[in-house]
Amino acid sequence: MRLPTTLAAQLAPPDPNQQPWLIEGLWSANGCGILGGEPKVGKSFLALDLAVSVASGSPCLRHFQIPRAGRVLLFAAEDAPQIVRGRLQGIAHAAGVEFQSLDIHVITVPTLRLDCKQHQQALQATVAFLRPHLILLDPLVRLHAIDENVAAEVAPLLAYLRSLQRDYATAVALVHHARKGAAHERGGQALRGSSELHAWGDSNLYLRRSGQQLQLSIEHRAAPGTDRLLLTLKANPPALALEVIDQPAAAPTAQPSGLQRIEQILAGEHQPLTQKQVRDAVRMRTSDVSQALATLIANGRVIKSADGYQLKR
């Protein structure tokens, strides 16, 4: 029995009303992906910033806009509930939003194993009930007992998360460690474990530390990314939150004047050039070239001879 096919032109067109971003420029709508980085670079702060922003509609990292606020489902496996609450409250303060109103639901079981059928079913039932816009799981290493280096073991776990994404139209963000000493490698190549993890992501975020600075690299499957955006962990008690460092725009490079361009052309020649040769090289009107040459001669910069024009040396 053959597989069903259809002409490309008969495929359903993109929905013009479908918002492409969960967080503009940072995370795709209904996208799966990785928040990666070496230990102690602020991955959990970044993940919680995503949670607060999506739940409140406030700009993520005080920079990336949220098209539409929605519910967030969070599991923080490594931090005590008091720490999670304190960090969320601090980020909410930095974002200028009311902490009590945040639609963030925190999973409170001590253990969640995504390689366990019973736990998968429980998480699926929770997602079906809450219908979150974003599922945040932090970190991957606490969510399974598989060998992360074996693609055949990693792939089913990622396929399960992908099925949640597709069945419930939700984004899934998975916090994961990069290898130690891999700061100079491309973000996806620096992730610990199987390359399946990098390939899985629709949107991936990578944090690196360079001296006292944090750098965020952003990649998307279907949109341009951003490399090494500068961040800082800004403390303004009770707020403690990551924030994009605004970098001054580069000053526009001044274009050389017609006089300077003609001087540069003559400076590169050891033989005199005719006016036509100068004009062809500089691509200016004949009248402008003639006037510029006359000015350079009057200023003592250029010498005119029977053979043409030459820079005075």
Instruction: Provide long-range contacts, Cβ within 8 A and 24+ apart, for 109-113.
Output: 111/77, 112/75, 112/77, 112/137, 112/143, 113/143, 113/144, 113/145
- Based on the fold, state whether residues 285 and 200 are members of the same structural domain: no
- Based on the fold, state whether residues 187 and 267 are members of the same structural domain: no
The residue from 244, 267, 295 where one domain ends is 244
Q: Are 43 and 206 in contact (CB under 8 A)?
A: no
> Tens place of pLDDT for every residue, the chain, 313 residues?
999 999 999 998 877 777 799 999 999 999 999 999 988 899 999 999 999 999 999 999 999 999 999 999 999 999 999 999 999 999 999 999 999 999 999 999 999 999 999 999 999 999 999 999 999 999 999 999 999 999 999 999 999 999 999 999 999 999 999 987 665 666 777 899 999 999 999 999 999 987 778 999 999 998 999 988 999 999 988 899 999 997 655 555 566 777 888 888 888 888 889 988 888 888 888 888 888 888 888 888 888 888 898 888 7
- Based on the fold, state whether residues 151 and 283 are members of the same structural domain: no
- Based on the fold, state whether residues 213 and 285 are members of the same structural domain: no
Counted domains in the chain: 2
Q: Are 61 and 234 in contact (CB under 8 A)?
A: no
- Inter-CA distances, 151 with 115, 162, 187, 198, Å: 14, 16, 19, 11
Q: Are 26 and 224 in contact (CB under 8 A)?
A: no
- Based on the fold, state whether residues 42 and 140 are members of the same structural domain: yes
Q: Count the Cβ atoms, other than its own, within 10 Å of residue 288.
A: 13
pLDDT in tens, 250-307: 555 566 777 888 888 888 888 889 988 888 888 888 888 888 888 888 888 888 888 8
pLDDT in tens, 4-15: 999 999 998 877
Please give the radius of gyration of the chain, using alpha carbons only, rounded to the nearest integer: 29
Contacts of 153 (CB under 8 A, 6+ apart): 115, 146, 147
Q: Are 112 and 77 in contact (CB under 8 A)?
A: yes
The residue from 199, 216, 244 where one domain ends is 244
- Based on the fold, state whether residues 76 and 151 are members of the same structural domain: yes
What CATH number corresponds to the domain at position 284?
Answer: 1.10.10.10
- Based on the fold, state whether residues 67 and 197 are members of the same structural domain: yes
Kindly state whether residue 144 falls inside one of the protein's structural domains.
yes
Please name the residue ranges forming H helices in 96-150: 117-130
Kindly state whether residue 10 falls inside one of the protein's structural domains.
no
- Return the structure tokens found at 165: 């994404």
Q: Count the Cβ atoms, other than its own, within 10 Å of residue 107.
A: 16
- Based on the fold, state whether residues 100 and 184 are members of the same structural domain: yes
Task: Specify the pTM.
Answer: 0.76
Query: What's the domain range around 298?
Result: 258-311
Kindly state whether residue 227 falls inside one of the protein's structural domains.
yes
- Based on the fold, state whether residues 143 and 222 are members of the same structural domain: yes
List 205's β-bridge partners, or say none.
35, 218
